[in-house]
Amino acid sequence: MAAKLRKGDKVIVLAGKDKGKTGEITSVDPKSGKAVVDGINIAIRHVKQSQTTQGGRTPKAMPIELSNLAIVDANGKATRVGFKMDGDKKVRFAKTTGDVI
């Protein structure tokens, strides 16, 4: 099945501690149904110091469920994603505006 949310998409969080925040998808794991969005679902990870890197507490974006994300349309609002044929190509479009993503 074609992916509704892909790497590089601008999304808004629908549920959870970061509800209402927007960000860009950096990676998607379709098998687990999760995506990493920069600046969203931040956790503090403790890193041990090594010869090349400084140790300490570093913020890291953790995966978030795809069901809690919605793509942002041209108006800046959350929208669902549909598929249609554009000539001989299958394209994604925003259900609210009808624009091709």
Give the model's confidence band at 3: pLDDT under 50 very low, under 70 low, under 90 confident, else very high.
confident
Are 48 and 58 in contact by the 8 Å Cβ rule? The answer is no
Residue with tokens 């974006």: 61
- How do residues 69-82 score in pLDDT, each as one tens digit? 999 998 889 999 99
- How do residues 16-68 score in pLDDT, each as one tens digit? 999 999 999 999 999 999 999 999 999 999 999 999 999 999 999 999 999 99
| 87 vs 55: CA distance, rounded Å | 54
pTM as predicted = 0.83
34 three-state secondary structure: strand
CA dist list (Å): 24 to 12, 41, 60, 87:
9, 12, 15, 29
pLDDT at residue number 1: 55
